[in-house]
Every structure is written in C-alpha cells, then in structure tokens.
C-alpha cells in the first residue's frame, strides 16, 4: 500500500511503480468512486472496437425496419 499526500489543490500523485504497472499515462481518465469510508480509483475499460462493443450489448439481433420507424416519426405512414 502506498501513501500519498493531498496538495492545496486537492491533487494526488500516483506513485511511479503503480503508474507503470497499470499503464497509466498523462492525459488518461480515471474513475473515482466512494466505497464506505474509502476512495477507489479505477482505470476504465478500453474499448478497442466501439461498434463490436455496442452490438454486444444486445441480447439477440433486433429485427427493426429503420425506414418504417423514420417514416412513422415523420407521420408519413
């Protein structure tokens, strides 16, 4: 466990060995959450192919007529 100090601007420095091990680089975003009396810092999952990720959210393929949906939204049915 590493100990860090909070600066006047409420900033902390992630120790080099932890940054290196986890691959944290300048400009990366990290997630912070409160867990009881703790602050937990997490690295968000990186998505290599956003379209595959989004398709994976659906349980099964959707049978949707997109043209019909658009026409219905315009009131042209």
**Mean pLDDT for each 10-residue chunk of the chain (77 residues)?**
94 96 94 95 87 80 85 79
Question: Is residue 26 in a domain?
Answer: yes
User: What is the number of structural domains in the chain?
Assistant: 1
pLDDT of residue 76: 62
pLDDT of residue 58: 77
pLDDT of residue 77: 52
Question: Is residue 11 in a domain?
Answer: no
Question: Is residue 5 in a domain?
Answer: no
Q: How many CB atoms lie within 10 A of CB 7?
A: 9
Residue range(s) defining the domain that contains residue 46 = 16-74
């Amino acid at each position: 466990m590493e100990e860090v100090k909070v600066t006047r601007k409420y900033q902390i420095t992630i120790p080099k060995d932890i940054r290196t091990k986890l691959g944290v680089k300048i400009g990366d975003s990290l997630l912070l959450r409160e867990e009881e009396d703790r602050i937990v810092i997490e690295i968000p999952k990186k998505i290599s192919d956003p379209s595959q990720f989004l398709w994976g959210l659906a349980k099964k393929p959707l049978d949707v007529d997109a043209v019909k949906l658009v026409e219905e939204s315009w009131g042209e049915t």
